[in-house]
Chains A and B, each alone.
Chain A
Amino acid sequence: MATPVTPVKSGMPEPRAGTGGVFSAGSQKDFNSQLKKVYTFYTGGFLAFVVVLAIAEQMGLPRNWIGYIFLVATVGLYAGIGVMSRTSDAAEYYVAGRRVPALFNGMATGADWMSAASFIGMAGTLYLTGYNGLAFIMGWTGGYCLVALFLAPYLRKFGQFTIPDFLGARYGGNIPRSVGVIAAILCSFTYVVAQIYGVGLITTRLTGVPFELGIFLGLGGILVCSFLGGMRAVTWTQVAQYIILIIAYLIPVVWLAVKATGIPLPQVVYGKVLESVTAREEEFIKDPKEQEVRKMFTDRAAAASAQLKDVDRSFTTGQAALKSALDKAKADQASPESLAAAERAVAAYPKDAAAAKAMWTKDAGSAGRGAPMLRHAEAFPGATEEARDVSRRNFLALVFCLMVGTAALPHILMRYYTTPSVRQARESVFWSLFFIFLLYFTAPALAVLVKYDIYSFLVGSPFAQLPQWVASWQSVDPSLLSIADVNGDGIVQRAEISIGGDIVVLATPEIAGLPYVVSGLVAAGGLAAALSTADGLLLTIANALSHDFYYKMLDPNASTARRVTLSKMLLLVVALAAAWVASQKPADILFLVSAAFSLAAAAFFPALTLGIFWKRANKWGATLGMIAGLGITFYYMATTQPWLRSVFGVTSPIADHIWWGIQPISAGLWGVPLGFAVIIIVSLLTPAPDRETRDLVEHVRYPNITGDTMVTEGT
């Protein structure tokens, strides 16, 4: 490994880049035990920090101070690790020197994997959709079985730097590599925009700065982790971030479980709580007051839809009707009360047609609130047998796409290049899923516990005595929580509560009645989740450009130092570009994230697995297979997803393009099988790969084989 030694001003030689500080040691064994010591100490220190803040809060530390302290302390910590791990050595920069022990790589993968969507959004999705939300729980964990069985050990044995590296070496030439680079950037970029958006949102909530400033503050937090030390710095900050995010997720749920059942094991006891929730749901379905509210929403939505058919005419007739009613009341010398009511009605009427249109669109959108109530535990609800069938089909398709997508996202697969051996790569997948599992099997419990709390304490309480957290969240953002007395009986009905998914995690500490310091902790956990994922993604994009595109395709003679410097510059450019896109608040950001899974699944999974398990797969098969898989997935999305339809100007009815009732989010269901089919057919029609390629396949299949002439870079 060639490492430039830069003289510093004092005349003292700087320690060799990549060997100084805590994150390096002599033998692998010493390194491992040193890491355990450092992170145990760190976890204890973090818990002590939270306790000290809690005591300070009791002594009167203001709330916004707690927010600032959490933000500065955690981001400062990540920056410290980032600076300590700075490096300009290629193997250190791209794959953390391939010395990350299985356990720690598991934690880093956990943080890399769990994004703002997992941390904040998932429990909310489960709260809102019940059983159907479990598609995300299963999909985002079961995919690791595919990683373990089909990819991780083989990619580790192959031992290069990026995923397009494997495509380039296995299928020969720049064409498969370029397709890989494009696909990697396509899915990582949309994903990273969503993370930066999440970072901005949390920073804003934690400190009260404007959203745009929040984004750029968060961007600083992302860059300090990855800019100086690449994969090496990202790895060790991700381990630190995992510890914070899991503590932040578990504390409020455990508390809520104690509140509901008296037992601090939410994952074990929420079955009983779910029974109570189900019983309450049956009461709500029969309750005449609930039915009344739902009917009011349905009627209001139907009326608004009718008005919307001809906005201008409905606006003028509506206005005229109210005015004539007022005139009539005046002429008839009606009672002062009815006169005042008529005046109020005229005053409350929208000022112009545009305002009326906005109001009616909003009312028409409330049709969902009048729909029959969802039973949390019921699988594939639907009015007819056919609706249930479509719901089941979409559930299974989504699980499939999320699983295969998990096993194809480059920023995750890249992590398995960093372990010291194939053996540890296998163990590392186990640790990865174990650490992810800790959060994922808690999320459904959290959703049920919050539902229980709302159904048993909030519903049925008088409007005059709403709990404190309701008022504070309602004032923060009405789209997250709004409760209005629709039928005017002074009592909260279930159907009168409109709740946004994100609130479920963010407001849990307040619902559980915990001090504000825990709310700060949860926000810091969400920030850790978003930052760690954003770092992994940015690194993937920058490496695809600097390593695969520049070094492998444009200038194979580029020096190590030049490649690493270029990668750092690109990281900065990509980060700024993503932050700029995020600051535009793109409308369909959630769709873009889920789309990344379908796109990655269709582009990478068939080419990677066949490359390992089928020697006959060749260059043309892989190239065309990847293009066909990506192409059909993208085509299906572009013709069936409303936002993409408007971008591409598709005007024919959606129903003409929907196949088998499958939603656009699961478009990978078509892309993955087509990718496999094209690779197999085209490979069989074109000449078999050469001897060298077949040797490479054997090389990756055996952790150690005599007579093997290939060597792994950076070990």
Chain B
Amino acid sequence: MQLTQKHQEYWSKNLRITSILLFIWFVVTFVVSYFARDLSFNFFGWPFAFYMGAQGALIIYVVIIWYYARYMNNLDRAYGVQEGEDE
């Protein structure tokens, strides 16, 4: 099959959003945990690092996946690679 300029653009936009979201995922998970001992200021009762591990990071993960699904489903339509109606 022949890929057009538009297809290439769709794919590079996909790679861009994937990298951005992956970077956020990495910071929330590994950078915050690495500095957990220093990030122990009080955050509504929790030490901040504990809150992040128990709740904050999880909320961000859910948002990352929600945003990716929304962004890509719109991108599909904008670049005409969406599927037929399925609902």
Q: Does B55 contact A (CB under 8 A)?
A: yes
Chain B residues 32 to 60 lying within 8 A of chain A, measured CB to CB, are: 33-34, 36-37, 40, 43-47, 49-51, 53-55, 57-59
- CB neighbours (8 Å) of B50 from chain A are 131, 134, 274, 377, 379
- CB neighbours (8 Å) of B86 from chain A are 28, 420-421, 423-424
CA distance A421 to B2 in the complex (A): 23
Q: Does A429 contact B (CB under 8 A)?
A: yes
Q: Does A9 contact B (CB under 8 A)?
A: no
CA distance A400 to B36 in the complex (A): 16
* Pair B83/A145 contact, Cβ less than 8 Å: no
Q: Mark B1-30, 1 if CB is under 8 A from A, else 0.
A: 111000100110010001001100100111
- Contacts A271-B45, A380-B36, A392-B34 given; does A704 touch B62 at CB 8 Å: no
Q: Which of A149, A274, A275 has the most CB of B within 10 A?
A: A149
* Chain A contact residues, majority secondary structure: helix
* Pair A437/B7 contact, Cβ less than 8 Å: no
* Pair B65/A142 contact, Cβ less than 8 Å: no
Q: Does A65 contact B (CB under 8 A)?
A: no
- Contacts A142-B61, A421-B83, A701-B11 given; does A441 touch B33 at CB 8 Å: no
CA distance A275 to B18 in the complex (A): 38
* Pair B87/A28 contact, Cβ less than 8 Å: yes
Binding-face segment, A82-90, A107-115, A630-638, A705-713: A705-713
CA distance A2 to B34 in the complex (A): 56
Q: Mark B74-85, 1 if CB is under 8 A from A, else 0.
A: 001000011110
Chain A residues 438 to 477 lying within 8 A of chain B, measured CB to CB, are: 440-441, 444-445
* Pair A704/B81 contact, Cβ less than 8 Å: yes
* Pair A427/B54 contact, Cβ less than 8 Å: no
> What number of A-B contacts does a CB cutoff of 8 Å give?
155
Q: Mark A129-147, 1 if CB is under 8 A from B, else 0.
A: 0010010011001101100
- CB neighbours (8 Å) of A141 from chain B are 57-58, 61
* Pair B83/A423 contact, Cβ less than 8 Å: yes
Q: Does A32 contact B (CB under 8 A)?
A: yes
* Pair A396/B33 contact, Cβ less than 8 Å: yes
CA distance A395 to B81 in the complex (A): 42
Q: Which of B10, B18, B58, B66 has the most CB of A within 10 A?
A: B58
Q: Mark A402-427, 1 if CB is under 8 A from B, else 0.
A: 01000000000000000011111011
- CB neighbours (8 Å) of A392 from chain B are 33-34, 36-37
* Chain B contact residues, majority secondary structure: helix
* Pair A429/B65 contact, Cβ less than 8 Å: yes
* Pair B36/A131 contact, Cβ less than 8 Å: yes
* Pair B1/A138 contact, Cβ less than 8 Å: no
Contact of A704 among B55, B61, B83 (CB under 8 A): B83
Minimal beta-carbon separation of B57 from chain A (angstroms): 5
CA distance A430 to B36 in the complex (A): 27
- Contacts A145-B64, A153-B72, A703-B82 given; does A138 touch B36 at CB 8 Å: no
Q: Does A314 contact B (CB under 8 A)?
A: no
* Pair B87/A145 contact, Cβ less than 8 Å: no
Minimal beta-carbon separation of A176 from chain B (angstroms): 24
* Pair B55/A444 contact, Cβ less than 8 Å: yes
Find the A residue at minimum CB distance from B18. A149
* Pair B44/A395 contact, Cβ less than 8 Å: no
* Pair B45/A272 contact, Cβ less than 8 Å: yes
CA distance A392 to B40 in the complex (A): 15
- Contacts A134-B50, A396-B34 given; does A708 touch B87 at CB 8 Å: no
- CB neighbours (8 Å) of B62 from chain A are 430, 433-434, 437
Find the B residue at minimum CB distance from A147. B65
Find the A residue at minimum CB distance from B55. A441
Q: Does A309 contact B (CB under 8 A)?
A: no
- Contacts A392-B34, A707-B2 given; does A429 touch B10 at CB 8 Å: no
- CB neighbours (8 Å) of A272 from chain B are 45
- CB neighbours (8 Å) of B58 from chain A are 137-138, 141-142, 437, 440-441
* Pair B83/A138 contact, Cβ less than 8 Å: no
- CB neighbours (8 Å) of B1 from chain A are 695, 698-699, 705-709
Find the B residue at minimum CB distance from A424. B86
CA distance A275 to B81 in the complex (A): 53
Contact of A138 among B2, B47, B57, B81 (CB under 8 A): B57
- Chain B interface residues toward A at CB < 8 A: 1-3, 7, 10-11, 14, 18, 21-22, 25, 28-30, 33-34, 36-37, 40, 43-47, 49-51, 53-55, 57-59, 61-62, 64-66, 68-69, 72-73, 76, 81-84, 86-87
What are 10 inter-chain pairs, A to B, with CB distance below 8 A?
A28-B86, A141-B61, A142-B29, A145-B65, A274-B46, A441-B58, A702-B7, A702-B11, A705-B7, A705-B81
Top 5 A-B pairs, shortest CB-CB distance: A271-B45, A134-B53, A379-B36, A426-B69, A444-B54
- 16 additional A-B residue pairs with CB within 8 Å, beyond A141-B61, A274-B46: A28-B86, A131-B53, A271-B43, A377-B40, A379-B40, A379-B50, A422-B83, A426-B72, A429-B69, A701-B14, A702-B7, A703-B76, A704-B76, A704-B84, A705-B81, A707-B1
